[in-house]
Amino acid sequence: QSVLTQPPSVSGAPGQRVTISCTGSSSNIGAGYDVHWYQQVPGTAPKLLIYDNTNRPSGVPDRFSGSKSGTSASLAISGLQAEDEADYYCQSFDSGLSGSVFGGGTKLAVL
């Protein structure tokens, strides 16, 4: 299993708000390493969505927001749109592994 834990799936109706959690431990998120989020539309490469816990790259709508507290982080998506259907992954650094770690991914369904 993955070092970072995410729910396998979340869903919401258009216009609603959903959150995706990412739980780590004292050797990664809890050690102060930043959390980053990626969106992967099926058949395409992952794309950076949120970096350094809360920052959005240029071009990412402000409907997407990130937060971090203790050993966990969250991605919130408000005003859900059909185009938001994708897989979402969190990523951080783990001092025990001395390398990057990913969450197992969360599939978002827009009902």
> Applying CB under 8 A, which residues contact another protein?
2, 33-34, 36, 38, 45-48, 51-52, 57, 89, 91, 93, 97-105
In the complex with another protein, which residue's Cβ is closer, 13 or 59?
Answer: 59
CB of 57 to another protein, least distance (A): 7
Rounded-to-integer distance, Cα 111 and Cα 43, Å: 21
The answer to whether the beta carbons of residues 74 and 20 sit under 8 Å apart is yes
The answer to whether the beta carbons of residues 109 and 58 sit under 8 Å apart is no
In the complex with another protein, which residue's Cβ is closer, 97 or 111?
Answer: 97
In the complex with another protein, which residue's Cβ is closer, 47 or 63?
Answer: 47
CB of 71 to another protein, least distance (A): 17
Length of the chain: 111
